[in-house]
Structure 1
Amino acid sequence: MAMKTTIFDLIRQAELLNNETMLYFLKNFNRNIGISQILVLAELREKGPQMQSVLAKKLGYTPGGMTSIANKLIQEGYAERQYDETDRRVVRILITEKGLNILADAQKEGQTMWQELYSVLTDEEIQHMITIQKKLFEHIVKDQ
């Protein structure tokens, strides 16, 4: 009898892989920073200073969640608030040198992790996995 896979099996498997991957990373990258904060730093490095509301929307965080992330980044010295000279109500988050350094360290650990965890897959399997995930993601978000 063939096993019947449901949407819930697929969601659960993706959730398990995602959770274990994050735990593996955090266990090996023993610093005072989380995945969400690293993602925000990467966005700031890539696109420059941004308002929290823009970051929240781009990265899928609630405004309250983004405030918490920004406060932690600022408290640790990984980012700082930048006030607009023409309108002090406009506040952007800016990555600092310390933030760039920890982001580089995180990416180095991520590369090591990639080599350890994904070595069981061929390059072709990895490409298929990425293609399938992108295709599903684009299909899901276009319908929202």
Structure 2
Amino acid sequence: MDERREMIHQFEDNIRFLIKNFQRDLGEIFKNEITFHEFLFLKHLGDGKPQMVSSLSKKMKVTASYATAVVDKLLQKGYINRERSSKDRRIVELTITEQGIELIKKMDEKKTDYMSEQLESISDSELEILNLLLNKIGK
């Protein structure tokens, strides 16, 4: 295997490790409030625009049944509302509640503190380069 392919495999392993740890650690940080996936769903509803479960499941790249299960939990906790569309009564839309908005703010703060701690050993210039590289990969 040539050197570049080996570096690519190493990159894959590093990304997988980082994502796994990130999800696990945030799950632990959020555990008294909300699950990590519930947080992600709330974030998608955080812009205030009503959304259907089907569009939310597509954005989250999960099945409609899984999205419905997460939505049901968020409804029970009072973080979102489910309402019929005023334009088309057949459509059910989800909106975030004030309680949900407050929770997002609180969890975002915890997430930012966690990320700051994780990136403590990286200088500002290194972080800038890392962001540039990740943006380059993402495009």
Tell me whether the two structures share a fold, i.e. TM-score over 0.5. Answer: yes
Deviation at residue 95 of structure 1 after TM alignment: 0.5
Deviation at residue 50 of structure 1 after TM alignment: 0.7
User: What is the distance in 1 between the residues matched to 2:87 and 2:46?
Assistant: 24
User: What is the distance in 2 between the residues matched to 1:44 and 1:70?
Assistant: 11
Q: Between Structure 1 and Structure 2, how many residues are aligned?
A: 137
Q: Sequence identity of aligned pairs in percent? A: 25
Find the residue that maps to 2:46 and give its secondary structure: helix
Deviation at residue 7 of structure 1 after TM alignment: 3.7
User: What is the distance in 1 between the residues matched to 2:37 and 2:132?
Assistant: 24
Contact 2:51 2:94 survives alignment (8 Å): yes
Amino acid at match of 1:55: L
Q: How does the TM-score come out when normalised to structure 2?
A: 0.85
- 1:65 corresponding residue in structure 2: 66
Runs of 4+ in 1 over 4 A off after TM superposition: none
- 1:110 corresponding residue in structure 2: 111
Amino acid at match of 2:118: L
Query: For structure 2, which runs of at least 5 residues remain unmatched after alignment?
Result: none
Contact 2:30 2:36 survives alignment (8 Å): no
User: What is the distance in 2 between the residues matched to 1:111 and 1:29?
Assistant: 13
- 1:22 corresponding residue in structure 2: 23
- 2:80 corresponding residue in structure 1: 79
Deviation at residue 6 of structure 1 after TM alignment: 5.1
- 1:121 corresponding residue in structure 2: 122
Q: How does the TM-score come out when normalised to structure 1?
A: 0.82
- 1:34 corresponding residue in structure 2: 35
Amino acid at match of 2:97: T
